[in-house]
């Protein structure tokens, strides 16, 4: 089974010229979903990973499944105001403006080994903010894994440049 074939491409979404890589078709295909989770886990099986952090929202789906397979805890990284307990936050730049990502203050214990998971790595802005937030909480971010890489946008390379090993399952050229 080719995982790339299980991902739907939607032209001109959310704006003209963008080819949106929609993993909901992969998630809806039991075999593809299982294969994706297995392949996200495989490079890290047997390594000590205390927690998996998933970026809202598709990162929750993949990250929760990966955490289960690794017998690790799960940390939800959410948009501002979505978590019910005391939080810490990091602000990061978007194409047009800024956003804020939060996690609970007690989500990570200093020194815990954390793996970051999301559906897609593009420019890397959101993933770098997630790493910054996790490190601010005392985590050692030991890896980042994504189902889809858009290599022309350079996000995976930016994560590697800040010391985070990156694993991806499929790559799509273009935006």
Q: Which residues are marked as active site? A: 58, 95
The torsion region of residue 73 among left (phi > 0), alpha (psi -120 to 50) and beta comes to beta
Torsion angle (degrees, nearest 10) of CA 109, 101, 118, 163: -60
Measure the N-to-C terminal CA separation of the chain; round to a whole number of Å. Answer: 24
Whole-angstrom CA distances from 35 to 115, 127, 169 are: 19, 23, 10
> Do residues 23 and 7 make contact, with C-beta atoms less than 8 angstroms apart?
yes
Q: Residue 67 has what DSSP assignment? A: H
- DSSP H or E segment with residue 31: helix 30-41
């Amino acid at each position: 089974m080719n995982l790339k074939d299980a991902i739907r491409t939607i032209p001109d979404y959310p704006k003209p010229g963008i080819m949106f890589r929609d993993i909901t078709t992969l998630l809806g295909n039991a075999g593809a979903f299982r294969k994706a989770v297995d392949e996200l886990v495989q490079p890290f099986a047997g390594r000590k990973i205390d927690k998996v952090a998933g970026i809202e929202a598709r990162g929750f789906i993949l990250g929760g499944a990966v955490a289960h397979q690794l017998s690790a805890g799960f940390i939800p990284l959410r948009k501002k105001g979505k978590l019910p307990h005391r939080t810490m936050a990091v602000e990061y730049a978007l194409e047009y403006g800024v956003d804020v990502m939060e996690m609970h203050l007690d989500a990570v214990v200093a020194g815990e080994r954390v793996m970051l998971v999301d559906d897609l790595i593009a420019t890397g802005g959101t993933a770098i903010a997630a790493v910054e937030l996790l490190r601010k909480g005392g985590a050692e971010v030991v890896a980042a894994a994504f189902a889809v890489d858009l290599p022309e946008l350079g996000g995976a390379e930016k994560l590697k440049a800040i010391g985070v090993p990156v694993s991806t399952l499929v790559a799509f050229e273009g935006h």
